[in-house]
Chain A
């Protein structure tokens, strides 16, 4: 079920990205909706690909749903904020040394997931990715294929 949903999301997000490109290609002036379509499509395709990779036959993604949803929201909110927040001027405040919109992009999307996804991968590795039992099954299969 998880993989079916991920595949559906993969197809829809690919179509959304294609629509953004086609919209920009056919119009004389790039329509304002195209960055939104590309932003939503890209965030979704990354999420769908990760879910597809992390899900195992008949077991879904378990606790990984939390970091995956968090990452998806970070991308949507980060890119969305950069698109709608006011343009900075000389007197604009700085957030951690950068103008607000650049700060949202660099720290929010460029740094924050660094502390979430790799750690989620490590923490759930034995339970949701690979453990001794899985390896043994693979090695038995190899032995079965080449008994010599």
Chain B
């Protein structure tokens, strides 16, 4: 049960009731989507039939995991304003993603009926090897990401219902699996719309309480400045290099997140992309108010003596909610945290299953007979593996979760985002950069995990691997351009020129 602070009377039943109501809505959407899912295209790309709002809100929900509601505010509480550099690029990244990827991905789906991100890489370079390598990178990162999120989901369910962590992990996995296996990405998208709306609403309401409790932003700033001016500096407790490194990795790296990029295939009418960046950016901005607000407010309350220091930074959000907001809102946010995690897990289930069922067989020159059936089986297999990993070890899970973003970024940003906009990019460049991303990320993350080598403050493996794969991609492509000639199919070339 929730134990971060002494619970007010009736807290547990209200939080549990709201959570049950939330899971019932998710189940209803799953049942509706199951009836509409008849083909592999329905299962993996929602039959290319979703609207603009569904695309934008589902992408927002998939982008934000439980970190935005629990880990993020905890990080702000620990290191101050510097923690904001993780989400700071949001004001730029959605427009950047729209210019660089949205139109081209959607038009690729138009000419080739593509269903996965590695499909686009395979078609762009006419290379099953590049497609297969991208699928391997996605599979590794997906299992790590899912394990981290399932562990978080287990913690949330345990906190709400008091069932223990192991049961929490498996209950969360089964609920997410139930609608993902039956309704595929269609269920995922529409539960994401519900979950994303819930997250945005909860975040705005909590931010109002943040301002009220802290006597406005000025009150919060003055209180913290009096005790710890460095906390309110632009880098917080981080070094400038570390904060800027976050901005680089989470800014440019956003172009390589397949659970978001993949959704561009699903939009019914490509002309509706016009308003995508605005809706997505505003939705993210609103939902991230909690990330910044709660972290600063709790620090201010601790500094002023209103609250005792937290035992763990991750207690910032639960403690604030239970002490300073109405019970119903606290319950809504707890469901919002589960929503954030489940929407991310569902997206990973879908792209992981597609990599296993579609991309790896294509890379090996084969085709799976019934992609819908095998897609469902793969979803179960990947989820069970991730849930087992989530149970295995806390430190291992944390390790796996850390490199997910970096692995996606270093393997997909050069080959996909740059490659779809540069006709001079070559197959050799793509293969070399994806391989570089995988090797650099795995080797250096393992060295850091085993404490064989400690990086100086500000140097992250994600940043290093992204830079290394970018350089390899650019240099190898430039060196191999003449030997490869114009190795782009006419339809792909058209998509790159339009």
Contact = CB atoms under 8 A, between A and B. Distances in A.
Interface of A: 3, 7, 10-11, 14-15, 17-18, 20-21, 24-25, 30, 34-35, 38-39, 41-42, 45-46, 49-50, 52-57, 71, 79, 82-83, 87-90, 92, 94, 96-99, 101-102, 104-106, 109-114, 117-122, 125-126, 129-132, 134-135, 137-139, 141-142, 145
Instruction: Give 7 nearest A-B pairs by CB, closest first.
Output: A97-B217, A53-B100, A117-B95, A118-B278, A53-B99, A118-B277, A35-B240
A79 B244 contact: yes
B498 A56 contact: yes
Given A38-B244, A98-B221, A137-B494, A7 B226 contact: no
A15 B467 CA distance: 8
Nearest to A139: B110
A98 B498 contact: no
A46 B92 CA distance: 9
Contacts of B255: 49
Interface in B245-264: 245, 247-248, 251-252, 255
A130 B105 CA distance: 13
Given A24-B241, A50-B100, A83-B240, A99 B463 contact: no
A129 B222 CA distance: 46
- The B interface is mostly helix, strand or loop, or mixed, namely helix
A20 B241 contact: yes
Given A21-B467, A89-B229, A121 B459 contact: no
A50 B95 CA distance: 8
Interface residues on B, range: 35 or more
Interface centre among B273, B282, B498 (most CB of A within 10 A): B498
A114 to B, nearest CB: 4
A21 B81 contact: no
B165 interface: no
Nearest to B240: A35
A120 B95 CA distance: 9
Chain A residues touching B, majority SS: helix
B248 A121 contact: no
A71 B92 contact: yes
Given A24-B456, A46-B252, A138-B111, A52 B92 contact: no
B94 interface: yes
B471 interface: yes
B474 interface: yes
Given A18-B467, A114-B281, A130-B270, A30 B239 contact: yes
A24 B458 contact: yes
7 contacts: A18-B467, A24-B458, A25-B456, A52-B418, A53-B417, A71-B92, A138-B107
Given A98-B217, A106-B84, A25 B111 contact: no
B95 A121 contact: yes
Contact of A98 (B232, B251, B417): B232
B273 A105 contact: no
Contacts of A34: 241, 458
Given A49-B252, A118-B95, A87 B88 contact: no
Contact of B232 (A102, A119, A135, A137): A102
